[in-house]
């Protein structure tokens, strides 16, 4: 029997959650939520979840570089640059000279990209409300959010899961 067992408040002692089970639930929930969001965004706006994530990051972090996106999402710089190129080709993002460093480029949303991001944000928020907000109580959302933030901070502090390149 595994030494570290996580007890869920709504589970009986016979239904305790092991670390392996918690990991499996976390990964399967993330996959299902992300795939569902992907489909909702594709049907409504013609974009996928990863595109929305990049667009919303750029909206919320003006003056970002490809490296900033790559670091935040723990994705390789090459893959991030290709993703940005796809957004640029669709007219949603542009690369502009960095006034502080002529060797680098900054990313900014175009007016079309800003409009798309704002529209997709509504779909995103509605999806979260339906799939998470109507399933979990507010205190559960708070507890899960805090626990995941703590885990993420530890992983980032320890440099875990950072792609090379």
pLDDT tens profile 73-128? 999 999 999 999 999 999 999 999 998 888 889 999 999 999 999 999 999 999 99
What's the whole-model pTM score? Answer: 0.85
Q: What is the pLDDT of residue 104?
A: 87
What whole-number distance in Å separates Cα of residue 77 and Cα of residue 22? 31
pLDDT tens profile 2-54? 333 343 445 565 678 899 999 999 999 999 999 999 999 999 999 999 999 99
CATH of domain 47-142: 1.10.10.10
Residues 55/65, Cβ–Cβ less than 8 Å: no
């Amino acid at each position: 029997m595994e030494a570290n067992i996580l007890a869920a408040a709504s589970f009986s002692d016979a239904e305790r959650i092991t670390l392996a089970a918690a990991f499996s639930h976390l990964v399967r929930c993330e996959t299902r939520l992300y795939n569902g969001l992907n489909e909702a965004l594709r049907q409504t706006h013609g974009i996928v979840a990863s595109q929305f994530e990049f667009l919303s990051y750029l909206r919320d972090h003006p003056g970002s570089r490809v490296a900033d996106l790559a670091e935040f999402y723990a994705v390789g710089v090459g893959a991030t640059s290709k993703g940005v190129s796809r957004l640029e080709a669709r007219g949603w993002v542009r690369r502009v000279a960095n006034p502080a460093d002529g060797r680098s480029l900054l990313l900014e949303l175009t007016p079309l990209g800003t409009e798309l991001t704002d529209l997709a944000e509504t779909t995103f928020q509605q999806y979260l409300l339906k799939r998470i907000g109507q399933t979990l109580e507010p205190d559960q959302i708070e507890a899960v959010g805090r626990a995941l933030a703590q885990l993420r901070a530890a992983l980032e502090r320890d440099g875990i899961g950072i792609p090379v390149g």
